Every structure is written in C-alpha cells, then in structure tokens.
Structure 1
Amino acid sequence: MNNPQIPAPLLLQRLEHPTGTVRMVLDTDTYNEIDDQFAVVQAFLSPERLSVEAIYAAPFLNSRSEGPADGMEKSYDEIGRLLDKMKRYPAGGVLRGSTSFLPDGETPVNSAAAEDLVKRALASPEGDPLYVVAIGAITNIASAILMEPRIVENIVVIWLGGHMPSWHHTREFNLVQDIPAARVVFDSGVPLVLIPCQGVTSHLLTTTSEMEKYVKGRGAIGDFLFERFYAYTNDHFGYSKVIWDMAAIAYLLDPTWVTTHIVHSPVVTEQGTWSVDTSRHFIRCAVQLNRDRIFKDFFAKLDAFAAGN
C-alpha cells in the first residue's frame, strides 16, 4: 500500500483539536453492545458542534451475532431504530458496511460505506478534513484507505480501539476482531486520534440509578436507551456499566474533557500487542477523560431534547 506521506507539520496541524462545526461521519457496530447507542444520540444532540453527514454500519462478531455480516445488518437496523426515536437523520443516510473482516492487509472489502467514505473524503474542500469517528472494528475505514489511499490527505480518523500503549496487551474487542484492518490504519500515516479502552475509556461508568434519574422518561429515545441499559444485565445491585463509545464523541465536543498526548504510531503485532518504533509518524492518543463532564453534557442535552419534543 503506497499511501501519500503527509508532511509532519501538516500532520501535526490535523491532529490539533478542531474548531467550529465539525463535519463527520460515524462508523458504528451499534448492536454489538449498548454504548454505541449513547454515542449516536450524543452526536445528534450536539448540532452546534457536530454535523453528522452519514452513518456507516460496521461488522461485528460476538454472542449477539452469527457472523460479521449478521452483526453489520443488526447494527444497520439498530441505527434505524435510534434515528426513528429521535426523528433525526443524516443527509447522507445510513449505509451498510463490510460483510466480512479484511482477509489480509492488502485486500479491501467493498461496501456502500467504504465507497461513500472514499467519495465524501475526495470531495472535502482543501483545508477542511472530514472527521471519521469509528467506534467498532475499523474494517470499513481500512477498506476505504486500501481502495483509495489518497483519502488519508482529506480525513482525520478518531478510533475507539485497543488499550493504552502502556497496557500489557491490546486484545480489545474492536481491534482484535480485525487486526489486518487495524494495521492498515496505523501504518497508513492517516491523521489518527486513538481513544484507548482499558486505562482511559474504562472510567466512563454509569449506574442503573443514574439512568433511572436522568435518562428514563426523557422521551422515546430516553426510554429506549434506558431499556437497552437495563436489559444488559440481570443483576443491578451495586452495578455500573462502561459506556465506552461516548468518549470518541466527547473528544470532538470539548478538548478539556479528553486529555491527549502526541505519540509515535504504534505497530500492531499479530499477537495483539503494541510494538514501539520511534521512527514512525505521529498520532494523538487519549490518556485521561473527565467522566462527569461527559455525562453532564449528555444528560443536559437529552433533557432539553425531550422537553422540546
């Protein structure tokens, strides 16, 4: 894969926190768990900051799907349910993503989502990159880069995946499902903001009591989110749940909510670990987040949305 080499000064500029309204697409394995749903809602409840142009359904494979294609379809359907509850829809629509993970690091998996990302990225005005927020396996984004390497010059990827580079492994769900795709993205030189799970996003916890007080009863979408949260476990005594994926949205909403550092892009090994090479290009990596500010923003926006509908 011969990706364009973005000059270091431009790369560092692209890794700065954006100002104004951010043009973005959201790539999500929405039915995989319950956290994607909260991230989708928070993005649409923040039009003063985020302009969601399209949503891509990402593949996943766990106990909630029979395979990556089934996971993608279930995510596609879940996105529709969320948008119908909010009566908010992206202008570019909801697009189906990959029906399989990458077979290797050179072969893309074609899909409507990957094709749309290529087209949308190439059409981005100079100096106004498209932000690609990925909160599932990064198959669709890696496929788009393999299909058209030039898009790395026109996008900034924000990915919730892997664990902290200091963690003893990075066998996190989003990353380990498609290691070839992760390697494509980390090796491509694309401006990348990594939001790690263990050690960072793992602090984004909420409880049944908090959901009952601030989410339940807040319109059709609030009740839907609460039902998803409550049904996730049978034991709510002393229970808390990580809402991982909101962190990727929070990074774009306010730079003070997610502390980040510039680091060299790690190498993803076949064993699911990080390897450090200080000759590689830079990425931005989250190291801490403000759990309270993120949830306060979400609860306040949900409350205002419900009151106005």
Structure 2
Amino acid sequence: MINFPVIPEQKMVQRLAHPKRKVRMVLDTDTFNEIDDQFAVIYALKSPENMTIEAFYAAPFYNDLSTGPKDGMEKSYNELLKIRSLLPEMAGIPVHRGSESYLPGAETPVESAAARDLVERAMASSEDDPLYVVAIGAITNVASAILMEPRIIERIVVVWLGGHALHWRDAREFNLAQDLHASRVILNSGVPLVLIPVMGVTSHLLTTLSEIETHVKEKGAIGQYLYETFRDCCDDHYAYSRVIWDISTIAYLNNESWLSSSLVHSPVLSEDFRWSIDNSRHFIRYVDHIHRDSVFRDLFRKL
C-alpha cells in the first residue's frame, strides 16, 4: 500500500487559495481529442503575465478519433508540435509523450517521459513555490507521477477539468471516466486539487462560428488555425454552439473572480462513476460557476 504524505489542514487550505501571482506550470492535454484543447494551449501561451509554461505533456485518449490510448497520445503529441510551428511563444518549451495506456491498477503507474518529467520538475520545486499542474484530459500522466514519487503532492497543485458537478446525476465525464484508477488517485491521495467540473459548470463556455469568425479568424496564422478547427468540427453551424471547456483551467489562473469556488471535502468516486461525500476527507477547491463572457473576452483580447 502506498503511503501518501499528509498535508496538514491549515497548509492545505493555504495551498488551495488562489495564487494571486504568476505561477510556474505544466499543461497536460489530449490535444487531438477535441477542439477546446487547442484553444486552451494557445490561451495559456498568450497569458505570460500570469503563468510560465515549463512543459507540455501529451495525454492518452480513446474514442472515434483514435485506435486506442497510445494512438490518442501520439496524435495529441503531434498536434502540440503543429501548434508550436504556428506560435512563436511555444518555441523552446519541451513537449513530452505521455502514457501509452491507462493505469492497470490502483497503485501501478504507467512509465512515460511526461510522468518522469513531472516528478523531476515537482521535486525541484519548493512547498512555498509549488508547480501548478494543469490537466485537461485523462489524468493518467499526473496520477502516474504521484504513484512513482508520492512526495510530489507536497510540491504541486493540480488544476483539473474532470467529472461533472457534484449535484449532477453521475460523474461519468470523458476525462474522468477514461481512467478510473487515475481519477481515484487524484481524489484520494491528498494532492492539492482544484476541480473544475464539466456539466453544470464549464458547460456555460459556449461560443459559435459567427463569434469565432468575428473575433478570432483575423488574428494571424494562429487565429486562422483556431477558426478552421472550429469550422470543421461540425457540418451544420446553423443555430449551433459548441463548448470550449478546457479554457476554464487557464481562466482560473488568470482571474479567480471569473470562477466561483469553495472548499469542499474531496468526493468519493464509485465504481459506477457516482459521487458521494465523506466529511472526514481532505479539502479540495471546487468550482461551481463560471462567468462565460469574462473568459471569452479575455481570450479574444489576448489573441
């Protein structure tokens, strides 16, 4: 059984407060899976006043766009390289391949360049200046790093888009449901966690092709790339809007007032992907609302 360090409650509360300063961060992303990851990657790179990106990690995913987790990770890795070719701000930032499979067991990590890099960067950080780990895909890489070196939980803060709102009928969201073992590691290990749910919270982050055409398309090569990515995601854009979920994590670091949150006890995740509450568990920060207009206004302005 793995013994995770226990962060005292007072220190946990302090760690879960918004940093209110520029942070060091890594971004873990299944970039090829959806169109929102691309927006989040670019939004982060366009926010240097609030974050310094030290590395990108390709996360695994498995759906109609991949033949399995390994293929999804490779496609995400290649998509990150494509963005780097379009955006000068990304030059020199390392991009690492992540896990080729999901966790095979509750205490068994999956070795990868991403997980090893995260351990190294986290252990080089201090408790007073933790590394922010922003995750917008399956949490496999991050959970693997924690299992490989549990002491990193004292030196990181995880900001994860995962699961649905605690009041939702279930927690079966794509990022969370892909890797149940990894999701439970994040919720159970005691790592400082900012949890940003999908349905009921980031589902407010809707935009349309017309809005993207007006505010994004003419913003150079990267604007054209985002516009074409959005345009090609659907055959019929009449009265159609799409959620750009992943930018919520970057928005949280940019301005805490745009995402309403509170401290709650880390929820228990069941085998059938349902939430339950145990008030003896450690605290996490839970986002319960997002101000859609403020987030998109900031994104559009920075482009």
8 Å CA contact retained: 1:21, 1:50: yes
Q: Secondary structure at the match of 1:88?
A: helix
Structure-1 separation of matches of 2:89 and 2:99: 24
Cα deviation per residue 1:205-263 (whole Å; 9 max; x = unaligned)? 00010011001121000000111100000010001000000001100000111110110
Letter in 1 for 2:257: T
Q: Secondary structure at the match of 1:287?
A: strand
Structure-2 separation of matches of 1:88 and 1:57: 18
Q: Secondary structure at the match of 2:153?
A: helix
- 1:176 match: 177
- 1:259 match: 260
Shift, 1:166, TM fit? 1.0
Letter in 2 for 1:47: P
- Equivalent residues in 2 for 1:57-72 (5 A)? 57-72=58-73
Structure-2 separation of matches of 1:19 and 1:260: 15
Structure-1 separation of matches of 2:126 and 2:269: 32
Gaps in structure 2 of 5+ consecutive residues: none
- 2:86 match: 85
Letter in 2 for 1:100: S
Gaps in structure 1 of 5+ consecutive residues: 303-309
Letter in 1 for 2:207: T
Structure-1 separation of matches of 2:30 and 2:248: 15
- 1:232 match: 233
Cα deviation per residue 1:23-78 (whole Å; 9 max; x = unaligned)? 00000000001000000000000101110000000000000101000000000000
Q: Pairwise CA RMSD of aligned residues?
A: 0.8
The count of aligned residue pairs is 302
Structure-2-length-normalised TM-score: 0.98
- 2:24 match: 23
Identity of aligned residues (%): 60
Letter in 1 for 2:5: P
Cα deviation per residue 1:260-301 (whole Å; 9 max; x = unaligned)? 011000011110111211110000000000100000001011
8 Å CA contact retained: 1:132, 1:155: yes
Structure-1 separation of matches of 2:179 and 2:162: 11
- Equivalent residues in 2 for 1:1-309 (5 A)? 1-89=2-90, 91-302=92-303
- 1:305 match: none
Structure-1 separation of matches of 2:92 and 2:20: 22
Superposition misfits of 4+ residues, deviation over 6 angstroms: none
8 Å CA contact retained: 2:127, 2:154: no
8 Å CA contact retained: 2:259, 2:290: yes
8 Å CA contact retained: 1:53, 1:91: no
Structure-2 separation of matches of 1:90 and 1:215: 22
Shift, 1:20, TM fit? 1.7
- Decide which moves more: 78-87 or 236-245: 78-87
